[in-house]
Structure 1
Amino acid sequence: MSPVRPTLSRRVRNGAGPMTARNLHGHVVQMLGQRIVSGAIKQGEVLPPEATMAEEMDVSRTSLREAMKVLSAKGLVEARPKVGTRVRDARFWNQLDADVLAWRCNSMPTADFVQKLSEMREIIEPAAAASAARHRTVTQLKRMQTALEAMEAAPDPEAWTSADIDFHEAILAATGNELLISLFSVIETALSSYFTMSALTAVNFKYSLPQHRAVFHAIRDKEPEVAQKAMLKVISDTRENLSNKRRKA
């Protein structure tokens, strides 16, 4: 069994300020979740007994127990009689949970994770672009244009990523499909990390601007098939950029 550290009390003493019970168990969730997803605590590993973990982390057993309930709901751990709390295999994790996605992105995403995220984008976003071309309103088109102009004016990769996220969110919103819109709010963290990686690895972080313009023009002109192909090109170019970077690393 791996010891679970660092303690939370040190973080409080270093300026985090007074914590409510809810904040404290939230910090426990973040600490343990990040360690599990990063592999610091291995899949299949049985965690130390509750009393031991609470002492090591310098938190109450109540806070630890509440945190374990949250991690269990996310599919990361399970409690078994006479065995204890065990870390579940990654195939059981709720991969679309916002926290789980954030922890994966914060743990230096693997080539496999980037590949799967690219595949998910290829399944969803080209069809969404086609739908947006059929259903977009003038107001929604203006929102896309504003985001595109922000991408054009972006002075650095961080500003570019923020505008890029806005652009893709505007396209999903223009589909009028509330399920797709809700999905974006779930995967936004992962996409932000994905877009940032792509921008930082490119010689010119605005390398995909022409492709984004093509998507916008197709949606503006109500050309669904053109919009679909243009969005697929955006995604494939991003995938290729990241693949080239990994091959050179």
Structure 2
Amino acid sequence: MALEKSRKRLPQSDKLKWTTLALERARELNMDGKVSEITKRLYTIAPRLNPAPKEREFLAVAADFRQARRFKDARAYYERVIQSPNFSLDDKITAMKGIRLGYKNARNDDEHIAACASTGGFLATEFKANPKSNAVRSASYDAQVYLARALWTLGRSAEARTIFANLERRMRKRVPLAELYWLQARMAEEEKDFAKVSQLLDKALKEKMLQRLLTRQDLVVQRLERTPPGQSRESRANSDRTRKPDPGRIHPGAHPLLAG
């Protein structure tokens, strides 16, 4: 009965309660097979309860500790992921974000900012080592934006502006900057510099429209590259141009506020 209840859609705490009860009953009845089965389920529900997790389970254990607000234990496992040569770059980034989020959840502002800066520094180094990696470039950019937003939230607007300015200078034409301009516009709005707000929002809109155009061009190239052997690229392109437009779809050239 208890094991069946643990399989229902319940909060983790309730699942844990019923699974623990089922485990106790199985032990009382010397049901060794059931004990093994229920113990495995217990560790699936709450990985932090596993006294000897496998290395591949470290991220799940760390996340569970963080959700249980046992931040020190969570950091210990996140650090093991970061230090291990057996984890991918994506896993290490996930671990750094976990540490960062743990400090944020604990409302430890100083350590949160330090973790943000550490993540940004790590990714900046990775970007220098892998300048052609779009994934690393985007992750590095996102980490810097996150740091600037965290500083801004704490009232450290001057530091945030410096980061935004450096990002714009270094990442222009390398990543989409619409979000960056929008955030700068919000900061200008707080300062009641409405002329600057308008200027920055225009830049954000142009950036967004440019990104849509580039995405559309990429899709056209992909379609042309998939042209059937018996059909020339020119005839495929002509066919696309003469196809009747869908009346229910807003034309890409329409006013940007309508094309949202």
Instruction: Please report the TM-score for the alignment, with normalisation by the length of structure 1.
Output: 0.30
Q: Which of structures 1 and 2 has the larger relative contact order (alpha carbons within 8 angstroms, sep 6+)?
A: 1
Q: Which structure has the greater CA radius of gyration?
A: 2
Instruction: Please report the TM-score for the alignment, with normalisation by the length of structure 2.
Output: 0.29
